[in-house]
Amino acid sequence: MPIDTGELIKALAILADRRGVQVTFKESAKGAAICAAAALMGGLLGGPRGLALGGAIGSIAAYGLTEGKFKSLGEIILEDLTESQRIELKEHVTNAMANIGYSDVLNIGALLLSNGRVQDVAFNVLKSFATEQLGLTIVN
């Protein structure tokens, strides 16, 4: 009996949400650059007061540009992965489980939510997949 990809993906999303993992679409660097550029321009044009004003304006602009760009890893797993990415993630997790000695990977969803060691292995695979395959940056 094959492993149900949907159930495993849901279990991984629950695990990611329980661990409180947030990711960014690499917008943090852009926000920081906008803030710094605005502070620099303000400092050049208005001295110390311009620096403070430019920093404040840059911070507000950076906030506006990055709002909504941070998601939980659970949301990304459930909403943004393509079917081929879901299958690839399932394969990574089931291979990792087999490597640590869990031969009964058919019940991996339930095992994933109840066993701390399995959670740690699955979570590490999930973080690795998110950074290497999806190009996401883990925030926490």
pLDDT tens readout for residues 4-53? 777 788 888 888 888 887 776 566 778 888 999 999 999 999 999 999 99
pLDDT tens readout for residues 57-106? 999 998 888 777 777 788 888 888 888 898 888 888 888 777 766 655 55
Tokens of 109: 């969803």
What is the residue type of 114? Answer: S
Residue in 80, 78, 58 with CA at minimum distance from that of residue 69: 80
CA gap 54, 48 in Å, rounded: 10
First CA to last CA distance, the chain: 36
The predicted model scores a pTM of 0.61
Q: Tell me the three state secondary structure of residue 138.
A: strand
Are 3 and 108 spatial neighbours (Cβ–Cβ below 8 Å)?
yes
What is the residue type of 127? Answer: K
Domain boundaries, the chain: 1-25+70-140, 26-68
